[in-house]
Amino acid sequence: MTQTASCLCGAIRYRTTHVLGPVTACHCTQCRKSSGNFAAATPAPWDSIEIEGEVTWYASSETGRRGFCGTCGSYLFWEEGDGIAYLMAGAFDGPTGLRMDAHIFYADRSDFFRATDGLPCFAAGRGGPQVTP
């Protein structure tokens, strides 16, 4: 099944043929500051994605970068150079059938947000301890 997505202004459109997995909410400081709260993303291999339009990239760490539209500012992609793109779930067109599976870096969340969805909340990455929302 092909999923399509775009930025707010439509200057960037992309499609993926990858069967998308669950969405993870990342509350790390970088995701919080780039999205305004938390980033909700699903992974897909880069070789399954076709992009139309010019993505602007920001090197957010030594290994990671974030892709966004230089016109409207929509945050679309995150990657660490390992062949996997993390696709911002809110950019997909139409219903996706996707569900969230966890909150990561919950210790860095915005003070106005509290998870009430019953999903596991990890203080940092998935390998670390879970915390109570």
Sequence spans of domains, the chain: 3-108
Q: Say if strands 84-88 and 39-45 run parallel, antiparallel, or are unpaired.
A: antiparallel
pLDDT above 90: residue 127: no
Domain covering 3-108 in this structure, CATH number: 2.170.150.70
Residue 7's identity, in one-letter code, is: C
Query: So what's the pLDDT on residue 13?
Result: 98
State if pTM tops 0.85: yes
% of the chain exceeding 90 in pLDDT = 90
